A and B are shown apart, each in its own frame.
Chain A
Amino acid sequence: MTQPATVAGAHRHAPPQGFLRTHVFSLDHKVIGKQYLDLALVAVCTGIVLSWLMRVHLAWPTTPIPGLEKLSPNGAAGGVITPEYYLSLMTMHGTIMVFFVLTTAPFAGFGNFFLPIQVGAEDMAFPRINMTSFWVTLVAFLVLISAFFIGDGPPLSGWTAYAPLSAVGKDAGPGQGLGQTLWAISILLFCVAQLLGSLNFITTTLDLRTRGMSLARMPYSTWAWFITSVIGLIAFAVLMPACVLLLLDQRAGTSFFIPAGLVISDRLQPHAGGSPLLWQHLFWFFGHPEVYIAILPGFGIVSHILPVFARKPLLGPRVLIGCLIAIAFLSYTVWGHHMFLSGMNPFSATLFSVPTLVITIPATIVTLLWIGTIYGAKLRFTTPALFCLGFVSVFVSGGISGFFLAQPSIDVYLHATYFVVAHFHFVMAVAAMFGIFAGTYFWAPKMFGRMMNETLGKWHFWLTFIGVYCVFMPMHYLGLAGNVRRYSAFTDDYLKPLIPLHRFITIAALFTGAAQLIFLFNLIRTRVRGPKAPDNPWEATSLEWSTASPPPFDNFGGRPPTVQHGPNEYGTKGTARDYIMQASPGPAGAA
């Protein structure tokens, strides 16, 4: 099972000189990982503020929001959000959160920092490509955000950008001209960055493992990042050309997604021959795997962290890897469940429904493995442990509603209602955020060399855990009552009685969002003057804990570790400590 000596030496690059090369245009995967995380932090703050604005508007549609008029004189004249500006906020919220938070932080951010260290490499396989990936991602983010500052404002077609609304230009509404073009360019750039990043992750995992780091000995987080990169390589490779076609439709007069005979803004559109469903197929062929790109790193992080604080091995590690691979394969067979009612052949709905339901089997098994791991454990209720337990709870809550939406016969009623909003927020947004929080509290000592404050961390956990349930659980009830999503106001008679429930959700969302300031304060304080972290504060086994906190430039001080054990050696008997580190010498028991 042992691997040949690492080939990391072949990729060695000299330590950087000067501030710019060390902290800005750095080739070091650790700096790049932190840059991704910082970008995600800016993005998530933006996304939360956007959701606050939307929630306040939904609860009190005519109440002016102080200061908003300055940001958007057209979209919020007098501080009151217009219907089109609401949709723009929603589009930007979804796009920012899915791409620049849920993909960027758990995958690109943590993956960049820890994948090379966990396999015993001194950097990514292609450091220059790695640096390029980050800077392209940053440019993509700036291009997207710039849509706020142009005349017509950001696009309003949602993060799914369905054609022809997104393809015909400014005739379709405000923001659908330049705003939608900026959106498409941004996503196109993001795809390029992710493709480069995925290649780097795959190559690093396969080629740069240190001596003794067989695939079976890789930590579960590394497995998850590796499998996520394979998913990403295929998914972004489809979204990228789709964005090119969309741009051509918008700007070059082509008709990939636009059929003949459309009359928009009283103008017969000069297009013919395209198919709106083609966009939906291309988008969701990316879009559903994207859900797993967001959540699988969370699976890995929880599987990596839970045994540390349970002080016992993860239950069924090989089953876990098998399930992750099964999910990755199945993720490419289910995209049509977003399109049951799209006008595609209704027979295909049945076909897409089956794999969608089948994918719940590996997902259920993984959840049971986590719960089974807690059985008989000696749980240490640190902040990262609490976020892992919270992850399991919210993932169950989100996963359960998938049973409903996977069935076309129920989707007939629940499609495009708040039930869907509740489902995907729990299962891919909140769960993934809990994974990100668990990872941040767990790895902060290694990333910054300082411990995060546990008391603040626990306050953050409790307020967030209860808060997200208050925000998203009631959305199931709204959905059951037929409350349609993506509405900027509930003017329909049957929706008016639901407004008090919306107000409850809004208040909960404001509090839950505000609770994140505790995290922000804790994180910033830690980076500036938190207590110094020891090398292995949590008594964990994987290679990142065998090196200094923070690790030196080449990760292991010129001595690449030799791996002797798997990552799951917790609760060991007959040793001085109850765990054996992966790089500990000798056979099991010699820790």
Chain B
Amino acid sequence: MGKLFAVVVTVITVVSTAIFITHTWWLPVDISAHGHAIDHQLSETMLSSGVLFVLSQLALAVFAWRYGDRKDGRQVKTFPGGATPMVVLAAILVGAEILTLTFVGSKVWAGIYQTPPDPNSLNIDVQAEQFAFYFRYAGADGKFGAVHPELINEANENFFGLDPAHDTTARDDIVVPSLVIPVNRPILLTLRAKDVNHAFYVPELRIQQDFVPGLVIPLHFTATQTGKHEIVCTQLCGLGHYNMRAYVEVLPQAQFDQWLKEKAAQQ
């Protein structure tokens, strides 16, 4: 029975590890300026914790194989050196791993979430609601109109609650259901929630952030490749949560300028 256990554990370990190593299912292409650091941190963690995983499972398998009770009258043996050396070694090894991961990982995290946005960022306001995203560009004046929740009206397509009648800065705001951004230009999103919690997640951009009602949350990144990808909501927001998505389209700067001009003309 011990041998069977050893074989099953070994097979499980080898098959699961092989699928990780061969990247049979893996992260999609990274199109962000910061994403390589995340991918690197993930690979480092995969390597160090993968070694721990394989060694622990194989030790369990080997011991189960070897130390079955064969009724041969042998005496049990204690672990060489007892618990202390093993505990000290484990604490040092895992401690060193944690220290390294924290040191490197904190810099990666801080590089995304704790650094100020580039002053030349393109600012885009994002409103999340059950079950859609809306994106707002400042228009020709470069200023966003103030938001008035009481004026939000889906039927009139006033998704942000703007007051163009009294607020001149709101008149040229461009509101669209898709995020269109220029490539290689820093983007600063300002996240607002109309109703409940939502989240902004683009796997290819390696970025994720909750929308929280009552909070205005900044999020900045730079896309390095053109293309079109899905933005999905990852914070349970109600019955249509699974279907709450939009697209992010990364365009060359000239094409983006053209697009923005066309949208401004339609306002």
Contacts and interface: CB of A to CB of B under 8 A. Distances in A.
B94 interface: yes
A349 B69 contact: no
B210 A407 contact: no
B77 A465 contact: no
Contacts of A393: 9, 12, 57, 60
B98 interface: yes
Given A263-B152, A389-B5, A404-B49, A312 B78 contact: yes
A100 B162 CA distance: 48
Contact of A342 (B60, B94, B149, B212): B212
Interface in B93-112: 94-95, 97-98, 101-102, 105-106, 108-110, 112
B158 to A, nearest CB: 11
Contact of A491 (B68, B201, B243): B243
Given A158-B236, A263-B152, A315-B78, A413 B27 contact: yes
B82 interface: yes
A396 B64 CA distance: 16
Interface string B42-79: 10011011101100110110011001111000111111
Given A173-B239, A342-B210, A481 B94 contact: no
A379 B68 contact: yes
Contacts of B234: 415-417, 484-485
Interface residues of A, number: 110
B25 A376 contact: no
Interface string B3-21: 0110011001000100110
Interface string A233-277: 000000000000000000000000011111110101000001111
B130 interface: yes
A357 to B, nearest CB: 4
B140 interface: no
Interface string A569-588: 01101000000000000000
B258 interface: no
Contact of B87 (A260, A264, A316, A374): A316
Interface in A455-504: 458, 462, 465-466, 469, 473, 476-478, 480-482, 484-494, 498, 501
A258 B149 CA distance: 14
A162 B198 CA distance: 11
8 contacts: A263-B152, A277-B215, A376-B76, A377-B67, A397-B53, A400-B52, A416-B199, A481-B203
B146 interface: no
Contacts of A480: 25-27
Nearest to B112: A412
Contact of B238 (A165, A372, A397): A165
B242 A487 contact: yes
Contacts of B225: none
Most B-side CB within 10 Å, residue of A172, A412, A492 = A412
Interface residues of B, number: 102
A367 interface: yes
Interface stretch (A6-14, A295-303, A358-366, A551-559): A358-366
A392 B211 CA distance: 39
B242 A488 contact: yes
A244 B171 CA distance: 45
B131 to A, nearest CB: 10
Given A158-B236, A570-B76, 20 more contacts: A84-B238, A172-B196, A259-B214, A261-B149, A261-B214, A311-B69, A316-B82, A316-B83, A360-B94, A364-B94, A373-B79, A377-B69, A393-B9, A397-B57, A403-B48, A412-B112, A413-B42, A469-B16, A486-B236, A487-B242
Interface of A: 82-84, 87, 156-158, 162, 164-165, 168, 172-174, 176, 258-264, 266, 268, 274-277, 310-312, 315-316, 319, 341-343, 346-347, 349-350, 353-354, 357-358, 360-361, 364-365, 367-369, 371-381, 386, 389, 392-393, 396-397, 400-401, 403-404, 407-410, 412-413, 415-417, 458, 462, 465-466, 469, 473, 476-478, 480-482, 484-494, 498, 501, 570-571, 573
Contacts of B69: 311, 377-380
Nearest to B115: A346
B194 A374 contact: no
Contacts of B60: 371, 374, 389, 392-393, 396
A35 to B, nearest CB: 34
A141 B46 CA distance: 40
Closest A-B pairs by Cβ, 5 of them: A259-B214, A376-B77, A316-B83, A482-B203, A84-B239
A268 B151 CA distance: 9
A100 B262 CA distance: 58
B28 interface: yes
Contacts of B75: 571, 573
Contacts of B8: 462, 465-466
Nearest to B9: A393
A165 B197 contact: yes
Nearest to B59: A371
